[in-house]
């Protein structure tokens, strides 16, 4: 068994590092107000409900334009979308590597923007969309025709099969659908042209079948963004959206009537392993920085690194990071060799363990750095605030454990991936 990353991946990481240093870091240094202690203030349009400031969005778009021109932005997308069809292992390695570099325009946490783009909704459209719906693909990548994602509701998050939003056939015989309901954490809907809205069209609450995905134009009558939620990490682009008698044609359905959860599962599954890789990389960065500081900071007449109270927590984190990081790469490698949904338990393990790890690593890095660690002059508080949400999104930590339990205990005919089980 060879546990080294393939040469094509290590060569790609080196190529991306050169691009970052040549093209992206100079751009970042021209706009340091977005990356130093002023970052939250500068990035946030406080008078526009806390959404990303237009100048911040413009900088991200310029970064993405340069990355696309260089052939990096679409690396993880299917060839049908002009992408490089990179493996799950390559994308996981890239996200881990980028996060381990620390904060920067090359891979920013706020909007999950990166020189290697993360577009989990694009493969969904590519696989299930009609030719007309596939027009969104290029728009999502370039930002000119964005599509947001509306699954969560005020009363339902991880229990999405119990959603209250309803879609019913119009009674006038037109074949249209009338949608009524509310969506919460409707990310990026304020700058989107379409909203992928999930609604129950048949069945009863709790049924997996009977939920349909509709692409709803954001300017449709009755589709209204009520307000934007302010969050632990600002700016925020997560809206509360109301749908009142919103009419859409049958052609608005993505995939098949009653089978919308397939689209949602594909979206979150695409993101779970990538979140985990980013969390492992950010944890590695926090540990490295804490070790570096402990070796240079003198307290009570000797470096902090001499104190076991400093050594042992970092040793524990370092050991955990090595195990989680390598397990993520192993799982991504497996995802390239079989249907990822068949090893969903492994993906969930990666997700909840890595997301918890980075929060602990960021917290310990703050502790080692003392007062300065708590300040916004250093990045640890920002890393903590961003990655803390990963323990909730794409299925909460508890939902990830529940998924593992389904496989471990054989519920619903599932069988644990690991031979040890």
- pLDDT one-digit tens code per residue, 213-271: 999 999 999 999 999 999 999 999 999 999 999 999 999 999 999 999 999 888 887 78
**127 belongs to a structural domain:** no
Q: Do both 42 and 167 map to the same domain?
A: no
Please choose, from the candidates 202, 214, 219, the residue with its C-alpha nearest in 3D space to the C-alpha of residue 249. Answer: 214
Q: Please confirm whether the linkage preceding 316 is cis (ω < 30° from 0).
A: no
Number of independent structural domains in the chain:
3
3-class SS at 395? coil
Confidence of residue 17 (pLDDT cuts 50, 70, 90): very high
Domain enclosing residue 203, as ranges:
147-254
My answer on whether 305 and 400 are in the same domain is yes
Phi first, then psi: what are they for 233, rounded to 5°? -120, 120
Structure tokens, 277:
């890789």
250 with 393, same domain?
no
Look at residue 158 in the predicted model and tell me its pLDDT.
85
CB under 8 Å to 319, separation ≥6 — which residues? none
Same domain assignment for residues 250 and 280: no
Whether residues 277 and 397 share a domain: the answer is yes
407 and 284 share one domain: yes
- The per-residue pLDDT for range 152-169, each reduced to its tens digit, is 999 998 888 999 999 999
Distance CA 15, CA 162 (A): 46
Instruction: Give the model's pLDDT for residue 415.
Output: 78
Q: What is the pLDDT at residue 176?
A: 97
The CA-atom distances, in angstroms, between 50 and each of 64, 93, 169 are 23, 33, 37
CA distance 421 to 405: 11
Query: Which position has the token pair 């659908």?
Result: 177
Instruction: Using the structure block, give the residue that is written with the tokens 């492992």.
Output: 280
Q: Which two tokens stand for residue 237?
A: 């682009």
Residue 132 within any structural domain of the chain: no
pLDDT band of 345, cuts 50, 70, 90: very high
Among candidate residues 279, 301, 283, the one with its CA nearest the CA of residue 291: 283
Asked which of 86, 121, 156 is the last residue of a domain, the reply is 121
Contact 226, 240 (CB under 8 A): yes
Within 10 Å of residue 166's Cβ, how many Cβ atoms? 14
Report, as an integer, the average pLDDT of 101-113. 89
Q: Which residues share a beta bridge with 182? A: 242
Nearest to 149, CA basis, from 5, 26, 266, 275:
266
Strands 194-200 and 147-150: parallel
Q: What is the mean pLDDT of residues 365-392?
A: 95
User: Considering Cα of 188, then 193, then 125, then 168, what sign does the dihedral take?
Assistant: positive
- The DSSP-derived string for 274-335 is HHHHHHHHHHHHHHHHHHHHHHH-EETTEEGGG-HHHHHHHHHHHHHHHHHHHHHHHHHHHH
Confirm whether 312 is domain-assigned: yes
Question: Distance (Å, rounded) from C-alpha 413 to C-alpha 409?
Answer: 9
Which of 400, 373, 396 has the alpha carbon at shortest distance from 384? 373
Q: Identify which of 201, 138, 115, 120 has the alpha carbon closest to the alpha carbon of residue 166.
A: 201
User: 100-109 in b/e burial notation, b at 16+ Cβ within 10 A?
Assistant: bbbbbbbbbb
**What pLDDT does 77 receive?**
95
pTM of the model: 0.93
The answer to whether 345 and 334 are in contact (CB under 8 A) is no
- Do 160 and 291 belong together in one domain? no
Whether residues 24 and 98 share a domain: the answer is: yes
CATH of the domain at 285: 1.20.140.10
Sign of the four-CA dihedral 218, 186, 95, 91: negative
Count Cβ atoms below 10 Å from residue 204 Cβ, excluding itself: 9
CB 145 within 8 A of CB 139: yes
Which of 219, 254, 289 corresponds to the end of one domain?
Answer: 254
Nearest in space to 20 (alpha carbons), one of 110, 97, 120: 97
Q: Which residues contact 140 (CB under 8 A, 6 or more apart)?
A: 119, 121, 122, 125, 146, 147
- The answer to whether residue 420 sits within a structural domain is no
The DSSP result for 221-232, as a single string, is: TTEEEEEE---S
Residue 50 shares a structural domain with residue 192: no
Phi and psi at residue 148, to the nearest 5°: -95, 180
Do 266 and 211 belong together in one domain?
no
Give me the phi and psi of 43, to 5 degrees please. -75, -20
- Least confident segment among 102-106, 185-189, 338-342, 368-372: 338-342
Per-residue model confidence as pLDDT tens digits over 39-52: 999 999 999 999 99
Structure tokens at 395: 């299925």
For position 395, what pLDDT does the model report? 84
Give one DSSP letter per residue of 194-207, joined into a string. EEEEEEE-SS-TT-
Instruction: Evaluate whether residue 141 is within a structural domain.
Output: no
pLDDT at 339: 85
Which residue, 254, 271, 302, sits at the end of a domain? 254
Cβ-count burial of 257 within 10 angstroms (0-12 exposed, 13-18 middle, 19+ buried)? middle
Give the C-alpha separation, 230 to 110, whole Å: 13
In a domain, 113, yes or no: yes
């Amino acid at each position: 068994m060879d546990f080294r990353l393939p040469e094509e991946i290590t060569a790609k990481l080196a190529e991306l590092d050169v691009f970052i240093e040549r093209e992206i870091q100079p751009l970042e240094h021209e706009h340091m107000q977005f990356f130093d202690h002023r970052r939250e203030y500068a990035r946030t349009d406080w008078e526009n409900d806390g959404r990303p400031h237009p100048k911040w969005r413009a900088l991200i778009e310029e970064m993405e334009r340069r990355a696309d021109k260089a052939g990096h932005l679409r690396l993880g997308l299917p060839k049908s979308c002009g992408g490089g069809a990179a493996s799950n292992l390559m994308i996981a390695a890239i996200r881990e590597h980028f996060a381990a570099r620390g904060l920067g325009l090359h891979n920013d946490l706020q909007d999950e923007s990166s020189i290697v783009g993360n577009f989990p909704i694009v493969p969904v459209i590519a696989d299930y969309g009609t030719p007309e719906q596939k027009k969104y693909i290029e728009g999502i990548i370039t930002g000119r025709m964005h599509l947001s994602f509306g699954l969560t509701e005020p009363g339902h998050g991880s229990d999405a099969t119990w959603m209250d939003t309803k879609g019913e056939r119009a009674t006038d015989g037109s074949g249209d659908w009338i949608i009524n309901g509310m969506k919460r954490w409707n990310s990026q809907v304020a700058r989107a042209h379409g909203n992928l809205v999930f609604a129950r069209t048949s069945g009863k609450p709790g049924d997996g079948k009977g939920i349909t995905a509709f692409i709803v134009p954001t300017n449709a009558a009755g589709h209204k963004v009520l307000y934007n939620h302010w969050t632990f990490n600002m700016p925020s682009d997560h809206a509360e959206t109301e749908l009142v008698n919103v009419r859409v044609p049958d052609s608005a359905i993505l995939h098949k009537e009653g089978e919308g959860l397939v689209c949602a599962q594909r979206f979150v599954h695409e993101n779970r392993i990538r979140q985990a890789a980013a969390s492992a990389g950010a944890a590695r960065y926090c540990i490295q920085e804490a070790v570096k500081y402990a070796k240079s900071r003198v307290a009570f007449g000797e470096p902090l690194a001499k104190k076991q109270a400093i050594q042992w927590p970092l040793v524990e984190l370092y050991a955990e990071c090595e195990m989680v990081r390598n397990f993520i790469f192993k799982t991504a490698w497996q995802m390239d060799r079989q249907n990822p949904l068949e090893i969903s338990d492994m993906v969930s393990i990666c997700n909840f363990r890595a997301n918890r790890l980075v929060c602990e690593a960021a917290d310990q890095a703050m502790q080692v750095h003392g007062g300065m660690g708590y300040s916004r002059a250093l990045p640890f508080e920002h890393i903590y605030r961003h990655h803390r949400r990963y323990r909730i999104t794409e299925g909460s930590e508890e939902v990830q454990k529940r998924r593992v339990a389904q496989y471990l205990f054989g519920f619903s005919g599932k069988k644990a991936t690991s031979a040890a089980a």
